[in-house]
Structure 1
Amino acid sequence: MKKVYVIGHRNPDTDSICSAIAYANLKNQVEGNGYEAYRAGNINGETRYVLDTFGIKDPKYVSDVRPRLKDVNLNLVKGAKATDSLKSAREMMQTEKIVSLPVLDGKKMIGLVSISDVLKADMDVYDNEILAKAKTPYKNVVETLDGTLQAGDIEGYITEGKLTVSAASVDTMEEFVTAKDTVIVANREDAQIGAIQTGVQCVVVCMGTEVTDKVLELAKEKNCRIITTPYDTFTASRLICQAMPVSYIMATDTIVSFNETDFVDDVKEEMTKKRFRYFPVLNADNEFVGFISRRRILEFNKKQVILVDHNEVSQAVEGLEECEIMEIIDHHRIGSVETVSPVYFRNQPVGCTGTIVAQMYREQGIEITKEMAGLMCSAILSDTLMFRSPTCTPVDEQIARELAQIAGIDVEEHAKAMFRAGSDLSGKTPNEIFYMDYKKFNADTIDFGVGQITSMDQGELDDIKASILEYMDSVKEEQGLDYVFFMLTNILEETTHLLICGPEAEGVIERGFGVTPEDKVAILPGVMSRKKQMIPNLLNAFQQ
């Protein structure tokens, strides 16, 4: 089954991560394996406490879901070794129905040979010393000629001499044959003996001729190799150049290769500039993993994604527009996500996506384990601020308390421990604090971002005001936003100190909340929810 990514929003909170894990688990039990939870950002302190408490591994991190070459069905090819013959390389290409072949040293690619390279090397040979120049292995000669080594060592290489076909008389052989040559002869014993006595390093005996003991003894004495072949002298002379190793003709400097982590769209663009049919794909260790072709790019199926706890492109993982969205499970306003075809979209007015996922377990008749119950209960407690948030519904609280019983936890004690872990800001930079829970939004022509951090200690929140206010200016410029807001929410006092950044931001807050900010800070009693209180009021203010 093809892998399906189950993923929450960027800068994930506890609900985003826990609901993704729980929903992937549900889908795997209902439909079989293939669903895997991912996260689109770092795990905050609160979520870390939850995962550690229930012994759950961190979801894998993914910053960009645009398809990469490792997601494409590559053409898997065994490859050739540098010493393999041109004949074996040609046969491998014919079997695989490809026109290029990687040359490998272990798994690392050291060159590339094409069918045109092989044909050219076979047809355009006018150099009778080509076998020596190519350092041709003797075993290649035996294999290429379908031969048998009758005398000598099959290991070693042809490094000296020329290739000669002895068609002259024995008396005139010395005029054409010299020491260290490789000689092709027919079935005449006197020609075989004459070549050996001349000092050649190898004699190829054709037409399946049985070599006499006299010739074999002389060959051993002179350290000369004897190879017999069923082919006649003409055929043998045509075939023997195919014994050259592919290392002699392989390309090394003009290879256009890609890495398996390269994005498919980038590869497409690069491929249009080249005339090659196949392109090698390598991994991070420069090891060959397969070939990519234009046809395989066209046949590629997009990644399949299930969105959890969000449905806006601005909040989604990078590259979502190049994926196939299968489902959306969310409890926020319906945003800007567009799909090519109809999808399963479950959106309910509850305080937490974890509440929806828990309902789906029951609807499917799937038993909720202690671990999954702990995750979903934690998600609800986090999103509803332990039932204090105005987004909390009776359904959220009822399900959370039922899940707590399954998980064997005390709701109040567990929630306090979570919040303490999440509000521990000691040692954290303004960047780390700001992105612990941050989302971007759009209202017609206005782009804005809203971050939030919760704590039970007002002094801790006051300590970070100045540094966060200063950091918000850089966020606004880097992301090209019109406004940036940051909520410092005190859970116990049920109050938010809202930090503001942007032109006429004070007017926006006055219109939206009826409160006049001082020194870029607005105190908002009773405001605890970004989703239900902050965002609707800001949207109304922008429209006035």
Structure 2
Amino acid sequence: MESTKNEIFVIGHMNPDTDSICSAISYAELKKKITGEDYKARRAGQVNAETSYVLERFGVKAPTYLPDVRIQVKDIFIREVDKVKNDISLKAAYEIMSKNSVVTLPIVNDKNGLEGLITIGDIAKAYMEGYDSKMLSIASTPYKNIIETLDGKVLVGDESAVVREGKVLIAAANPDLMESYIEEGDIVIVGNRYESQLCAIEMNAKCIIVSDGASISSTIIKLAQSKNCIVISTPYDTFTVARLINQSMPVNYFMKKKDLITFTREDFIEEIRGVMAKKRYRDFPVLGKNGEFIGMISRRSLLDAKKKKLILMDHNERSQAVDGLEDAEILEIIDHHRVGSIETAGPVYFRNQPVGCTCTIVYMMYKENNIEIEPHIAGLLCSAILSDTLMFRSPTCTPVDKAAAEELAKIAGINVEEYAKAMFSAGSDLKNKSPEEIFYQDFKKFEAGQISFGVGQLSSMSTDELGNIKEKIVPYMKKAFAEHGLNMLFIMLTNILDESTELLCEGDGAKELVLNAFKVDEVDGKVILKDVVSRKKQLIPVLMSSLQQDNN
């Protein structure tokens, strides 16, 4: 079974905003059209209300959630193997293993659920220890297994029957002695001697196995029918029959059923490697979400594990990236923020431009490659530009952003002002959202020397709406601050129309840092930053500069 190693994931930052999601979707589509390869948009967090409105408005599904990009079982080759039912014989199981050069067979039920595993070692052990003459009955061996193992055919009786009692004997003695040790329900291996065949049936043997393909008289046939005795004819000699018959036992008696070590396609390689090392098994089964058997992996399979291939959109800070980034292969970074802390193993395509939105860069790349922008993609790109530039009010907005948004709006068939108001209204309508959902609508972490801090931003065109948001978010800030282990935490409540921000602060020295950095005073317990609407261009640079001065 092929792994997913040919996929290339295009993914934005954690707690994604509209730009992060829309740029990933749009760029994945662009790369597909340019290269024909398997680019897939993914998201590293939950879709917020504004972005949900945008996706629904243009009929686009949200990208699949990808919280961790460490190597998983599905990223390696999962070997498909023959699956068998639990009543097949040891001999049949061994033949399948030999044919396919495997040492382990999965035993499944009618619904493809894993019941157990049988290995070459289990079969060898069964053969070496199968000296008990009652083993066939102990293992509840189907007669069809005996027939298949001995290449025999049934002359009398029901081949679907099962051995429930008795022992296996060889009729090597004369009839007088045979009468002393044959018991009801036994299986007796006989040759072509009429007397031995007759004696075994009269002693109520459950089955006689006639070796060497010897002829059987009509008298014996009739007697066997009247006594309900199964008669099997085999071309093998008596020695071979005696040697092979225990190989007819079903695998369910010998297979491992309890404490099976299984993995799923979603398990991470670094976690299962330790489990494998502690067990002596060579192969391990992989199961699906509903417990269905998929295939097998081995320790050797791990050597072929391939890193997930990523294109990072709208971020280049390690603290903002999806978990497990160190185990992934970064191919490209497309961003419009400051150059951050992500390191790569080799050179990558890195496009970083001082524009107001990553989607503006994606729009430019569509143009550069002469790729037609479809209406739904135009809608996504335009929405992200309007969102990131606060409908051109943000100082991060450039003439390039505005020109791109206006052209995209024509392709998408929307009125910029009307659509932007509807989009912002949907994004700030948080009546039914929990404080946690509101908090993580647009939240990012940053580092300045030894200081780590987080900044979230919530924007609205309504002062009343921002007031309602504040009532919900303030109590939750203390909890979030403790959970993230940050030195400081800030939440921007940005009024788009007033072009101002009330900044909520948490952490020792957080409020003092802001007041000193922006040269403002606290008024009625509030920190108001007039003409500040951009986290990227107006808040973060000032905080970084102030923190660096303090460190120096």
Which range, TM-score by smaller chain? over 0.9
User: How far apart are the structure 1 equivalents of 2:344 and 2:231?
Assistant: 71
Alpha-carbon shift at residue 160 of structure 1 (Å) = 1.0
User: How far apart are the structure 2 equivalents of 1:36 and 1:490?
Assistant: 35
1:187 aligns with 2:192: yes
- Say what the alpha-carbon RMSD is for the aligned residues: 1.7
**Partner-residue secondary structure (3-state), 2:447:** strand
User: How far apart are the structure 2 equivalents of 1:81 and 1:322?
Assistant: 39
Corresponding residue for 2:301?
296
Contact 1:137 1:157 in 2 (8 A): yes
1:217 aligns with 2:229: no
Alpha-carbon shift at residue 403 of structure 1 (Å) = 0.8
**Partner-residue secondary structure (3-state), 2:411:** helix
Corresponding residue for 1:41?
45
Write the deviation string for residues 36-83 of structure 1: whole angstroms up to 9, x where unpaired. Answer: 111122211111111111111121122222233233322222322111
Question: Paired residue for 1:524, among 517, 525, 529?
Answer: 529
Question: Paired residue for 2:98, among 94, 98, 102?
Answer: 94
Contact 2:284 2:296 in 1 (8 A): yes
Contact 1:508 1:541 in 2 (8 A): yes
Contact 1:501 1:520 in 2 (8 A): no
User: How far apart are the structure 1 equivalents of 2:244 and 2:506?
Assistant: 79
Alpha-carbon shift at residue 540 of structure 1 (Å) = 0.2
User: How far apart are the structure 2 equivalents of 1:208 and 1:362?
Assistant: 82
User: How far apart are the structure 2 equivalents of 1:492 and 1:422?
Assistant: 15
Q: How many residues align?
A: 544
Corresponding residue for 1:472?
477
1:140 aligns with 2:145: yes
Question: Paired residue for 1:492, among 483, 497, 503?
Answer: 497
User: How far apart are the structure 1 equivalents of 2:312 and 2:153?
Assistant: 65
User: How far apart are the structure 2 equivalents of 1:409 and 1:463?
Assistant: 30
Corresponding residue for 1:25?
29
- Between 355-364 and 489-498, report the one with greater CA deviation: 355-364
Evaluate the alpha carbon distance shift between residue 102 and residue 439 of structure 1 in structure 2; reply closer, same or farther with a 3 A threshold. same
State the AA in 2 paired with 1:6. Answer: V
State the AA in 1 paired with 2:173. Answer: A
Corresponding residue for 1:273?
278
Alpha-carbon shift at residue 409 of structure 1 (Å) = 0.8
- Between 509-518 and 128-137, report the one with greater CA deviation: 509-518
- Between 416-425 and 26-35, report the one with greater CA deviation: 26-35
Corresponding residue for 2:13?
9
User: How far apart are the structure 2 equivalents of 1:212 and 1:34?
Assistant: 71
Corresponding residue for 1:402?
407
Alpha-carbon shift at residue 326 of structure 1 (Å) = 1.9
1:69 aligns with 2:69: no
User: How far apart are the structure 2 equivalents of 1:94 and 1:209?
Assistant: 32
1:200 aligns with 2:205: yes
Alpha-carbon shift at residue 254 of structure 1 (Å) = 4.0
User: How far apart are the structure 2 equivalents of 1:382 and 1:35?
Assistant: 25
Write the deviation string for residues 172-206 of structure 1: whole angstroms up to 9, x where unpaired. Answer: 32123222111111233332233222221111111
User: How far apart are the structure 2 equivalents of 1:80 and 1:521?
Assistant: 71
Write the deviation string for residues 498-525 of structure 1: whole angstroms up to 9, x where unpaired. Answer: 1111212233113321123346632111
Contact 1:509 1:516 in 2 (8 A): no
User: How far apart are the structure 2 equivalents of 1:78 and 1:187?
Assistant: 40
Contact 1:500 1:520 in 2 (8 A): no
State the AA in 2 paired with 1:188. Answer: R
**Partner-residue secondary structure (3-state), 1:157:** coil
- Between 83-92 and 30-39, report the one with greater CA deviation: 30-39
Write the deviation string for residues 84-106 of structure 1: whole angstroms up to 9, x where unpaired. Answer: 11111112222232222222112
**Partner-residue secondary structure (3-state), 1:427:** coil
Write the deviation string for residues 283-306 of structure 1: whole angstroms up to 9, x where unpaired. Answer: 332322222211111211111121
1:454 aligns with 2:483: no
Write the deviation string for residues 96-123 of structure 1: whole angstroms up to 9, x where unpaired. Answer: 3222222211211122222111111112
Evaluate the alpha carbon distance shift between residue 373 and residue 133 of structure 1 in structure 2; reply closer, same or farther with a 3 A threshold. same
**Partner-residue secondary structure (3-state), 1:321:** helix
Unaligned regions of 5+ residues in structure 2, if any? Answer: none
Evaluate the alpha carbon distance shift between residue 210 and residue 358 of structure 1 in structure 2; reply closer, same or farther with a 3 A threshold. farther
1:353 aligns with 2:358: yes
Write the deviation string for residues 6-54 of structure 1: whole angstroms up to 9, x where unpaired. Answer: 1111111111111111111112222225221111222111111111111
User: How far apart are the structure 2 equivalents of 1:167 and 1:196?
Assistant: 15
Alpha-carbon shift at residue 496 of structure 1 (Å) = 1.0
State the AA in 1 paired with 2:360. Answer: T
TM-score by length of 2: 0.95
State the AA in 2 paired with 1:84. Answer: I
State the AA in 2 paired with 1:253. Answer: K
Alpha-carbon shift at residue 437 of structure 1 (Å) = 0.5
User: How far apart are the structure 2 equivalents of 1:472 and 1:499?
Assistant: 9
Evaluate the alpha carbon distance shift between residue 215 and residue 31 of structure 1 in structure 2; reply closer, same or farther with a 3 A threshold. farther
Question: Paired residue for 2:449, among 419, 444, 448?
Answer: 444
Alpha-carbon shift at residue 351 of structure 1 (Å) = 0.9
User: How far apart are the structure 2 equivalents of 1:381 and 1:348?
Assistant: 17
State the AA in 1 paired with 2:65. Answer: Y
- Between 285-294 and 324-333, report the one with greater CA deviation: 285-294
User: How far apart are the structure 2 equivalents of 1:29 and 1:208?
Assistant: 69
**Partner-residue secondary structure (3-state), 2:169:** strand
| Percent of aligned pairs sharing the same letter | 53
Corresponding residue for 2:384?
379
Corresponding residue for 2:164?
159
User: How far apart are the structure 1 equivalents of 2:365 and 2:30?
Assistant: 8
User: How far apart are the structure 1 equivalents of 2:537 and 2:113?
Assistant: 56
**Partner-residue secondary structure (3-state), 1:255:** coil
Evaluate the alpha carbon distance shift between residue 516 and residue 505 of structure 1 in structure 2; reply closer, same or farther with a 3 A threshold. farther
User: How far apart are the structure 2 equivalents of 1:376 and 1:490?
Assistant: 23
User: How far apart are the structure 1 equivalents of 2:159 and 2:369?
Assistant: 68
Unaligned regions of 5+ residues in structure 1, if any? Answer: none
Question: Paired residue for 2:338, among 322, 325, 333?
Answer: 333
Write the deviation string for residues 299-345 of structure 1: whole angstroms up to 9, x where unpaired. Answer: 11111121111111211111222111122111111111122222222
Write the deviation string for residues 466-501 of structure 1: whole angstroms up to 9, x where unpaired. Answer: 442332222221111001011111111111111111
* Runs of 4+ that moved beyond 4 A: none
Alpha-carbon shift at residue 208 of structure 1 (Å) = 2.4
Contact 1:500 1:521 in 2 (8 A): no
State the AA in 2 paired with 1:319. Answer: G
Evaluate the alpha carbon distance shift between residue 417 and residue 338 of structure 1 in structure 2; reply closer, same or farther with a 3 A threshold. same
- Between 273-282 and 344-353, report the one with greater CA deviation: 273-282
Evaluate the alpha carbon distance shift between residue 424 and residue 254 of structure 1 in structure 2; reply closer, same or farther with a 3 A threshold. closer
Corresponding residue for 2:267?
262
Write the deviation string for residues 396-420 of structure 1: whole angstroms up to 9, x where unpaired. Answer: 1111111111111111111111111
- Between 427-436 and 294-303, report the one with greater CA deviation: 427-436
State the AA in 1 paired with 2:60. Answer: I
Alpha-carbon shift at residue 149 of structure 1 (Å) = 1.6
Corresponding residue for 1:56?
60
Question: Paired residue for 2:398, among 393, 401, 409?
Answer: 393
Question: Paired residue for 2:83, among 76, 79, 82?
Answer: 79
State the AA in 2 paired with 1:432. Answer: E
Alpha-carbon shift at residue 150 of structure 1 (Å) = 1.9
